[in-house]
Structure 1
Amino acid sequence: MSHFKAIFLLGIASLVLACARAIGFIRYGYSGANGPDKWGSLSSDFSLCSQGKKQSPINISKNITSYDPDLKPADRNYNKTRATIINNGLNIELIYDKGAGNVTVDGKNYTLERMVWHLPSEHTLDGESFPMELQLIHKSADNNITVIAILYQYGSNDAFLLQLQDELQQLQQDSCSGDEEARIPVGLVQMRTLVRHTRKYFRYVGSLTTPPCTEDVIWIILGKVRKMTDEQANLLKAPLSAEYKNNSRPTQPINSRTVRLYDEMHQNKNSDSKKSS
């Protein structure tokens, strides 16, 4: 390789990968002295992590969920949008530019801001954990939060992750220091696979699953478990240090909360029954 070509490629690489220092960041972990059971004591801002009564994730017991005929379909209106993939040291996330689209919940619009991958899944179904959980985080104009969670099991390739494959491989080679996060722009991200019609979902009121564990978050966990490959899971783990390759918070007490169920099949039966009466 010529000297000029080497300098040119180095310059391109420096434009692609950027390191950003996290200001005032308190590093929490998933085991040991700064593990989930210690989060509440790491900062006064994290007090809800140990004192909150509406914490996430939870185990969803299907036989005690409450079918709610008033729930509406969780249809998403997402657009092809520019985004940046980030290794913040704790997990891999995708941050969207403006115009990514929204979901409407109880008549209110929540704009998609970012998505985060947790391995293994944070929510469980009847005690069963899954290899991965993708959380799509939406925020309304008045700063309320709705998170849509998609659970994954091993199988065929996940089409959404396929388009991020090159950037995930590049994250493995980043040279950012321990208190910095690596950022790689990924251009336009195709959202088609994330707007499939949802026939069933579980909904409850919980919290963010990472500090500060903010409560009164609306959670919608899609009932359809999707597929991904083991290789794709490894791509999401590889850029992280050993202590963060498993980055899921344990399930929290449900306390007096109700998990509501939307079931399109049940809805259709009710509608047909009303028509015939």
Structure 2
Amino acid sequence: MEWNYQGDRGPENWNTICSAFHQAESESLQSPIALDDDQITATISQQSLIFDYNKTLFESSFFNHTVHLSPKTNEKLNTVIFDHKRYFLEDLHFHLPSEHEINHESFPLEFHLVHRSVKNELLVVGVTVLPSERPMNTVFAAVDERALHPRVAGRGLTVPIELTRLLPENKQFYHYTGSLTTPPTLGPVEWIVFSQQTFMRQGLLQAFKKTVGKTNRPLQLIMNRPIYLSNN
């Protein structure tokens, strides 16, 4: 079912496009939300989140209005353990500007690492991004801006990624339960959003803006749900 980020089929009208979109939005707590240290319900242990990421070949594609990177191998090499449950990475994609706000601040870009458990439960790791002209210690430093064009990304460009280098050095994170941020906006989704940012060179960020454009869902109501912050 066709949807968009602007116009009659934009986010404000997603729930009117079809019954599946309406049901998803009305039956689950929605994402993204504003994350504010002043509204934290409780702290949780930083040790409750464990990454087991490895260098992996990813294949690019362009759908749902953005660039996606999916592991080429069928082996479940990259996992996250959260609250004693293991989730397997299946997709990495990008939103501009950031979907979550952190302490009232929005960021130029946010990427999502989408994971799924053997019981089909979802966990998404959100990483907000700032521009920098200094040499980056991330795989994005080596990405050719031309590779982000839909015609190129859609051809299945293969990219080796060392995932641990995409994460911020400070691993403090927020946790809450919400939904996917693209239709159908199904929940529940366990969200992990880092409080600190990683960096992307300015030229690459501009290439994302040119290729992807505005692809962020507006903030959703918190609805009294608990929000947790890990001890740092």
Q: TM-score, normalised by structure 1?
A: 0.75
**1:94 equivalent in structure 2:** 69
Which residue in 2 is equivalent to 1:184? 156
* Alignment of 1:248 onto 2:216: yes
More helix by share: 1
Q: Name the amino acid aligned to 2:41.
A: S
Matched, 1:228 2:196: no
The percentage of aligned residue pairs carrying the same residue is 27
Query: Does structure 2 retain, via aligned residues, the 8 Å contact 1:37–1:50?
Result: no
Q: Name the residue aligned to 1:31.
A: 6
Question: Which runs of at least 4 in structure 1 moved beyond 6 Å after TM superposition?
Answer: none
2:100 is matched with which residue? 123
1:66 Cα offset (Å): 2.5
Contact in 2 for aligned 1:75/1:198 (Cα 8 Å):
no
Question: 1:106 & 1:50 partners in 2: Cα distance?
Answer: 26
Task: Work out whether residues 123 and 191 of structure 2, in 8 Å CA contact, stay in contact via their aligned partners in 1.
Answer: yes
Q: Using the alignment, how far apart are the partners of 1:171 and 1:70 within structure 2?
A: 37
1:70-219 equivalences under 5 Å are 70=45, 72-88=47-63, 90-97=65-72, 98=74, 99-156=76-133, 158=136, 159-163=138-142, 165-166=143-144, 168-172=145-149, 174=151, 182-194=154-166, 198-219=170-191
Structure 1 residues 44 and 80, CA, compared in 2 at 3 Å: closer, same or farther? same
> In the aligned structure 2, how far is the partner of 1:71 from the partner of 1:190?
22
Letter paired with 1:137: V
Q: What letter corresponds to residue 135 of structure 1 in structure 2?
A: H
Matched residues in 1 for 2:125 and 2:89: separation?
10
| Distance of aligned partners of 1:173 and 1:229 in 2 relative to their CA distance in 1, 3 Å threshold | same
AA partner of residue 32 (structure 1)? G
Q: Which has the larger radius of gyration?
A: 1
Contiguous gaps of at least 5 residues in structure 2: none
- 2:200 partner amino acid: M
Matched, 1:56 2:56: no
Determine the C-alpha separation between the residues in 2 that align with 1:195 and 1:247: 21
CA distance in 2, matches of 1:196, 1:77: 15
**Aligned partner of residue 114 in structure 1, secondary structure:** strand
Which secondary structure does the structure 2 equivalent of 1:256 belong to? Answer: coil
Aligned length: 228
Contact 2:166 2:198 in 1 (8 A): no
1 CA distance for matches of 2:209 and 2:60?
14
State the 1:74 CA deviation: 2.5
Q: Once superposed, what is the RMSD of the aligned Cα atoms?
A: 2.2
Distance in 2 between residues matched to 1:173 and 1:199, nearest whole Å: 32
